[in-house]
Chain A
């Protein structure tokens, strides 16, 4: 049976089609204003990639912040559950999952079956999520995808005092005016974000068998900062980190 997982995130909707433990197709589109419409569009793209017809699909399960908004799904699972299921499926030894998305980030402690044992989620604040890096990239007038590589060129560590995204933006502007190198500011941005995320990791307990997922895991600047802040030489990052939640949802659909 082909099962479908749809991760309705704050910025993008991800769809994964699975059959017998294998990914048959996947797609990602911007969430837009109409999440259901975006989910349909992503599903169509994934079906096209897999060469399947809509009728071939069995169960559909959603996750993500818009998971309740998709009327054609049979059910939904929490973001933590989907992340843990997906991560353990891809990396069977993973016991701590760090999911940094556009709007939310979370640290999850799980067992070998993907059952959530404990979790911590960032509170109502953008400073621990991808939205923070987006805002800072705008302030630096750097495309988002260039922010991470830029930060790797930093030559010094400068502290970023503001913990709030709004005030951090003002601080970035002040740093620009004081002729601080953009690369150093970019690194400070990632250090600020990773310190927030690491605080959550420490709440659930640090485990070396951790895996980093979520769209922000694409950002090499963040990954580098995270490694430094968490004190690990190497951190496993999912190959396609933003699809892990959708994979988890597809696995839940098969249950």
Chain B
């Protein structure tokens, strides 16, 4: 077998900075009270720009990325799950939730010390687990909880009354936060945070769009460590600035033909969270010359996309780019509500066919040869409809492989079976291991 083309590769220059931002984020959260600041916890889909109006010393810790960090440490993850099981919770609940609760019950913070108790919980409700997750956490920690129901239907059906329903709740949540913290709310800080939120999530969508290039400048395993910043705090200026730097670097990689995977000859997309403790399956696929260029999940969990003038998928234009000036609290809340309701990963909660459409768009525009679907037992919300997606893709002639697992509970993942299944899938795609890539992997 002839060795396929080897593209030049290079590490991302701004990679260490992403790591620093992430480390500082957890440190700031843990130490916030030492400096008289405020801590809140909740979901990565909470309207995180809203609490920013409480001051510059407000720090957040979102539950999903925190649990995903723990999932990588399989021993501590198991201890957390055991602690949650011991409380009588069912094993088939959201595995992020189980880990977060376990860390809370054990009073052990993954990054050292005791579990930092937040001053309040703030969450949005679209996934059934989310609202119950923070309800239990707030009851356990005996702190207030504010939850915003965003189940108003897919964005394409959004009308004024549905938007008002969400905006009204956001207003109410601000009143609740003021009462809970005794602080006066600053609308200017909210407006700045909303600008940053739009900027960071549009930039992430732009970065994902750059991955249409062949060879792909980023592989999904790397993207997991980059998209996470938006899940931590997308309304942060630091995150928005970072994504600008990253976008410029990725643009430069595209211009210079720098690849993420040296022997790229087959491009796939995946779906939902990966089994975090076993990301090596992505490296395994690289031995066949396969690059996963992303997923509806990696792209659309935080990235905000919109149809471009030519009909393709790309970043949604921010209010700033459209020349919209936000002047009041209500305007800011309307912008953040509308912006978040257009999030790709919120659309398929209403109908799996919406996701199939997005996947087919990705298949076409990102030049995809196959799709791997993770039937993720740890996240019912994002896995609901996966088999419908499979059928839709197959009907469109796209090769699909499925595997069962769990993003954060290794008990439900079988590494041998999964790699064996991947190998069979590679065979159906006409791919054999590239000896040079296998040697590089072993090294």
> A-side interface residues toward B, CB under 8 Å?
65, 68, 78-81, 104, 115-119, 121, 123-124
- Nearest residue in B to A66 (C-beta to C-beta)? B416
Please classify the interface of chain A as helix (H, G, I), strand (E, B), loop, or mixed, using the class held by over half of its residues.
Answer: mixed
Inter-chain contact B428/A116, CB cutoff 8 Å:
yes
**B420 CB-CB contact with A under 8 Å:** yes
- Residue from the list B375, B420, B425, B428 in contact with A79, Cβ < 8 A: B420
Chain B residues whose CB sits within 8 angstroms of the CB of A118 once the complex forms: 399, 428
Chain B residues whose CB sits within 8 angstroms of the CB of A115 once the complex forms: 427
Chain A residues whose CB sits within 8 angstroms of the CB of B427 once the complex forms: 78, 80-81, 115-116
- Nearest residue in A to B391 (C-beta to C-beta)? A203
How distant is the Cα of A78 from the Cα of B421 in the complex, in angstroms?
8
- Residue from the list A68, A78, A81, A123 in contact with B404, Cβ < 8 A: A123
Chain A residues whose CB sits within 8 angstroms of the CB of B404 once the complex forms: 123-124
How distant is the Cα of A225 from the Cα of B203 in the complex, in angstroms?
57
Known A115-B427, A123-B375; contact A78-B414, beta-carbon cutoff 8 A: no
- Nearest residue in B to A65 (C-beta to C-beta)? B416
How distant is the Cα of A80 from the Cα of B420 in the complex, in angstroms?
9
- Nearest residue in A to B375 (C-beta to C-beta)? A123
- Residue from the list B414, B423, B428 in contact with A124, Cβ < 8 A: B414
**B412 CB-CB contact with A under 8 Å:** yes
Chain B residues whose CB sits within 8 angstroms of the CB of A65 once the complex forms: 416-417, 420
Chain A residues whose CB sits within 8 angstroms of the CB of B312 once the complex forms: none
Inter-chain contact B428/A78, CB cutoff 8 Å:
no
**B328 CB-CB contact with A under 8 Å:** no
Chain B residues whose CB sits within 8 angstroms of the CB of A119 once the complex forms: 424-425, 428
How distant is the Cα of A116 from the Cα of B399 in the complex, in angstroms?
12
Inter-chain contact A80/B417, CB cutoff 8 Å:
no
6 contacting pairs across A/B (C-beta < 8 A): A78-B424, A80-B427, A81-B424, A116-B427, A118-B399, A124-B414
Chain A residues whose CB sits within 8 angstroms of the CB of B375 once the complex forms: 123
How distant is the Cα of A68 from the Cα of B420 in the complex, in angstroms?
10
| B412, B414, B428: residue with the most chain A Cβ atoms closer than 10 Å | B428
Chain A residues whose CB sits within 8 angstroms of the CB of B420 once the complex forms: 65, 78-79
How distant is the Cα of A115 from the Cα of B420 in the complex, in angstroms?
16
- Nearest residue in A to B405 (C-beta to C-beta)? A124
Chain A residues whose CB sits within 8 angstroms of the CB of B424 once the complex forms: 78-81, 116, 119
Known A78-B427, A116-B427; contact A121-B421, beta-carbon cutoff 8 A: yes
How distant is the Cα of A238 from the Cα of B156 in the complex, in angstroms?
54
Shortest CB distance B46–A (Å): 33
Known A123-B375, A123-B404, A124-B404; contact A78-B417, beta-carbon cutoff 8 A: no
Shortest CB distance A118–B (Å): 6
How distant is the Cα of A80 from the Cα of B422 in the complex, in angstroms?
11
- Nearest residue in B to A63 (C-beta to C-beta)? B420
Shortest CB distance A97–B (Å): 12
Shortest CB distance B156–A (Å): 31
| A68, A115, A123: residue with the most chain B Cβ atoms closer than 10 Å | A123
Chain B residues whose CB sits within 8 angstroms of the CB of A68 once the complex forms: 416
Inter-chain contact A124/B412, CB cutoff 8 Å:
yes
CB contacts under 8 Å to A, within B355-408, are 375, 399, 404
How distant is the Cα of A123 from the Cα of B376 in the complex, in angstroms?
12
Known pairs A119-B425, A123-B375. 4 more at Cβ < 8 A?
A: A65-B417, A81-B424, A116-B427, A124-B417
How distant is the Cα of A115 from the Cα of B432 in the complex, in angstroms?
12
Chain A residues whose CB sits within 8 angstroms of the CB of B414 once the complex forms: 124
Inter-chain contact A78/B423, CB cutoff 8 Å:
yes
How distant is the Cα of A244 from the Cα of B412 in the complex, in angstroms?
30
Chain A residues whose CB sits within 8 angstroms of the CB of B421 once the complex forms: 121
- Nearest residue in A to B411 (C-beta to C-beta)? A124
How distant is the Cα of A126 from the Cα of B417 in the complex, in angstroms?
14
How distant is the Cα of A123 from the Cα of B412 in the complex, in angstroms?
11
Shortest CB distance A253–B (Å): 16
- Nearest residue in A to B390 (C-beta to C-beta)? A203
Shortest CB distance B347–A (Å): 26
- Nearest residue in B to A125 (C-beta to C-beta)? B404
Chain A residues whose CB sits within 8 angstroms of the CB of B425 once the complex forms: 119
- Nearest residue in A to B412 (C-beta to C-beta)? A124
Shortest CB distance B420–A (Å): 6
How distant is the Cα of A104 from the Cα of B424 in the complex, in angstroms?
14
| A80, A81, A104: residue with the most chain B Cβ atoms closer than 10 Å | A80
Chain B residues whose CB sits within 8 angstroms of the CB of A80 once the complex forms: 424, 427
Q: Which 8 A-B pairs have the closest CB atoms?
A: A80-B424, A78-B424, A123-B404, A78-B423, A116-B427, A116-B428, A119-B424, A78-B420
CB contacts under 8 Å to A, within B260-282, are none
How distant is the Cα of A65 from the Cα of B416 in the complex, in angstroms?
8
- Residue from the list A104, A117, A121, A123 in contact with B428, Cβ < 8 A: A117
How distant is the Cα of A79 from the Cα of B424 in the complex, in angstroms?
8
How distant is the Cα of A68 from the Cα of B419 in the complex, in angstroms?
11
Chain A residues whose CB sits within 8 angstroms of the CB of B399 once the complex forms: 118
- Nearest residue in B to A117 (C-beta to C-beta)? B428
How distant is the Cα of A119 from the Cα of B424 in the complex, in angstroms?
8
How distant is the Cα of A121 from the Cα of B402 in the complex, in angstroms?
9
Shortest CB distance B395–A (Å): 12
| B399, B412, B414, B420: residue with the most chain A Cβ atoms closer than 10 Å | B420
How distant is the Cα of A124 from the Cα of B402 in the complex, in angstroms?
12
Contact with A along B424-438 (1 / 0, CB 8 A): 110110000000000
- Nearest residue in B to A115 (C-beta to C-beta)? B427
Chain B residues whose CB sits within 8 angstroms of the CB of A78 once the complex forms: 420, 423-424, 427
- Nearest residue in A to B426 (C-beta to C-beta)? A78
Chain B residues whose CB sits within 8 angstroms of the CB of A121 once the complex forms: 417, 421
How distant is the Cα of A222 from the Cα of B428 in the complex, in angstroms?
29
Shortest CB distance B443–A (Å): 19
Shortest CB distance B180–A (Å): 44
Chain B residues whose CB sits within 8 angstroms of the CB of A79 once the complex forms: 420, 424
Chain B residues whose CB sits within 8 angstroms of the CB of A104 once the complex forms: 417
Shortest CB distance B356–A (Å): 17
| A79, A81, A104, A124: residue with the most chain B Cβ atoms closer than 10 Å | A124
Shortest CB distance B297–A (Å): 21
How distant is the Cα of A104 from the Cα of B414 in the complex, in angstroms?
13
Shortest CB distance B387–A (Å): 9
How distant is the Cα of A189 from the Cα of B180 in the complex, in angstroms?
60
Shortest CB distance A125–B (Å): 9
Shortest CB distance B249–A (Å): 39
